[in-house]
Amino acid sequence: MRIEWTSYQSPVGVLTILEAREGPLIVEYAERTGRLHLAERLRQQAPGAVIDTGPCRQATSWLTAYFAGRPRPFAYPEYLANYLSVSDSQQAVWRTLTTIPFGETRSYEEIATATGIHPRAVGQLNGSNHLAILLPCHRVVGKDGGLVGYGGGLETKGWLLDHELRSVGLTLSAPSAY
């Protein structure tokens, strides 16, 4: 099995991308710390995989459209569980993320209601998302609409949400809190 790896320079920093033939496996912030880097984890879980530099065309094309304000729908990648250990609860939360429209947010409580998973667990599962921006965990906010928790940092989360609002012709009704 061949897995391509590349770095993608985005407006919110460098993203590390790993992609299989089926599509993206990992999109994460290159400087993210505090947990085992997912590329290394993938190497451990798929020891026969050949990870080599490549264009990662599907992910880079999608990200380029997103940052240009013209996102394309991204469905939950069913193939992901073939490459990474993904629990049923992770899949439920991540599938729900794909239903949040561009330019909108949902609270952890709303995701919990939709999935039947406790809000605290939703927060943890949201934080374990392997596909930053593609699976829009940045669109999940606190019950009061405030920015809470994001692996790329709250400033990045705020930038992404502002970008989406600007792209759909809206602005924040109150000054950003980041």
| Orientation angle between helical segments 108-115 and 119-127, nearest 10 degrees | 100
Q: Cα 27–29–32 angle (5° rounding)?
A: 130
CATH label, 2-67, candidates 3.40.1000, 3.30.519, 3.30.160, 3.30.750: 3.30.160
What is the C-alpha separation between 107 and 141, in angstroms, rounded?
Answer: 5
Residue 105 has pLDDT above 60, yes or no: yes
2-67 matches 87-167 in fold: no
Q: Which of 125, 134, 137, 160 is catalytic?
A: 137
Nearest to 18 by CA among 36, 40, 47, 34: 40
Tokens of 39: 């590329």
Residue 157 has pLDDT above 90, yes or no: yes
The yes or no reply on domain 87-167 and CATH 1.10.10.10 is yes
56 is known as an active-site residue: no
Give me the mean pLDDT over the 10-36 stretch.
83
Give the amino acid at 48: G
Give me the mean pLDDT over the 17-39 stretch.
78
Domain boundaries, the chain: 2-67, 87-167
Tallying the residues shown for the chain, one arrives at 178
Give me the mean pLDDT over the 108-124 stretch.
94
Nearest to 62 by CA among 13, 98, 23: 23
- Note the helical H segments in 16-153: 38-45, 57-67, 80-83, 88-97, 108-115, 119-127
Please tell me the pTM assigned to this model. Answer: 0.86
Give me the mean pLDDT over the 25-50 stretch.
70
pLDDT band at 177 (very low <50, low <70, confident <90, very high): very low
Tokens of 23: 């599509």
